[in-house]
Amino acid sequence: MHMHDVYASFYLFKCLHCPGSVAPLSRQPMKLIIGNKAYSSWSLRGWLACKQSGLPFEEVVVPLYDQDWDKRRQGDEFAPSSGKVPILWDGEAVVWDSLAIVDYLNDKTGDCKFWPADPVARAMARSMAAEMHSGFAALRRKHGMNIRQVYPPSTPDPDVVVELSRIMELWAQARARFGGDGDFLFGAFGAVDIMFAPVVTRIVTYSLPVPRFAQSYMLAVLQHPFMQDWIAAAQEEDWVIEQFEKPASG
Ligand SMILES: N[C@@H](CCC(=O)N[C@@H](CS)C(=O)NCC(=O)O)C(=O)O
């Protein structure tokens, strides 16, 4: 065996599900910096993406908004994102922003674990992920993620009702057109489920009203092993951020 073959087998990662794919594997495992598992919805997305990649990664959880937060977020590791989490470090590459992390890991793992293969399904999946990333501001602002709480039902604000109904429309269309035999929006668990996972937990936390089909989908998300791990870790966390411990904020 030649020297370059040794290096090739060391550096290259073959995805078992995509035999043709080869992605570079760094010497060091990737490092994902995230915030509180109880509250940080963007961190949940970045973390689910890392789990879904199947690649090894080191996880560093930092408490958001504690007394050292301002100093910590000015550190070198936070510089690329200007002090926001999640941030993924992979050797010299750094990726911040949850959707960019999904796409980076998709590229690194041979384009087969995140997005549906069918171009029509993929077009819808990409649009849904982008709409989640840039939209639903009222739901996100008024019903912050809080994995540890379940509040009694209350009437959501009209802007939240409009956003929820749009989300239900998207979920219903994805399930009907592309769900097939799978439990998730496009059949198998993927990027769009990752992007909507914190919406699922918000609906549970604030007992928001959703139709029956959505409850089945939400159950599948909540029972996914990655979600079970995250929820268990959130329950174990000692950190409490008082401003996020309110039933709903207008
Ligand atoms: N668009 C970013 C949002 C990242 C973000 O806003 N993260 C929040 C935590 S969920 C954060 O780091 N907040 C801390 C701060 O702004 O000081 C993404 O998709 O990752």
Nearest to 47 by CA among 105, 127, 126: 105
**What pLDDT does 15 receive?**
54
Same domain, 209 and 153: yes
**What pLDDT does 11 receive?**
37
Helix axes 212-223, 225-236, angle to 10 degrees: 70
Identify the three-state secondary structure at position 41. helix
Which domain-ending residue is among 84, 108, 132? 108
Query: For a substitution probing ligand 1, which of 41, 70, 85 has the most ligand atoms within 8 Å of its CB?
Result: 85
**Ligand 1 atom with minimal separation from the 97 CA:** 20
Q: Is the minimum distance from the CB of 201 to ligand 1 under 6 angstroms?
A: no
* CATH code, domain carrying 129: 1.20.1050
Same domain, 215 and 183: yes
Which regions of the chain are under pLDDT 70?
1-26, 249-250
Q: Which tens digits make up the pLDDT trace of 137-196?
A: 999 999 999 999 999 999 999 999 999 999 999 999 999 999 999 999 999 999 999 999
Same domain, 87 and 64: yes
Q: Is the minimum distance from the CB of 193 to ligand 1 under 6 angstroms?
A: no
Tell me which residue has its CA closest to atom 20 in ligand 1.
Answer: 97
Same domain, 140 and 91: no
Residue type at 92 in one-letter notation: E
Q: Is the minimum distance from the CB of 62 to ligand 1 under 6 angstroms?
A: no
Residue type at 25 in one-letter notation: L
Same domain, 103 and 159: no
* CATH code, domain carrying 24: 3.40.30.10
Task: Tell me the C-alpha to C-alpha distance, in Å, between residue 105 and each of 98, 175, 177, 190, 222.
Answer: 11, 24, 26, 12, 22
d(CA 189, CA 191): 7
Which residue range is the domain that position 27 belongs to?
3-108
pTM across the whole model: 0.91
Q: Is the minimum distance from the CB of 97 to ligand 1 under 6 angstroms?
A: yes
- Residue 54 forms part of a structural domain: yes
Same domain, 125 and 218: yes
Q: Is the minimum distance from the CB of 194 to ligand 1 under 6 angstroms?
A: no
Q: Is the minimum distance from the CB of 72 to ligand 1 under 6 angstroms?
A: no
Same domain, 228 and 197: yes
**What pLDDT does 23 receive?**
53
Task: Tell me the C-alpha to C-alpha distance, in Å, between residue 112 and each of 17, 18, 109, 144, 154.
Answer: 7, 7, 7, 32, 41
- Residue 229 forms part of a structural domain: yes
Same domain, 142 and 178: yes
Same domain, 136 and 189: yes
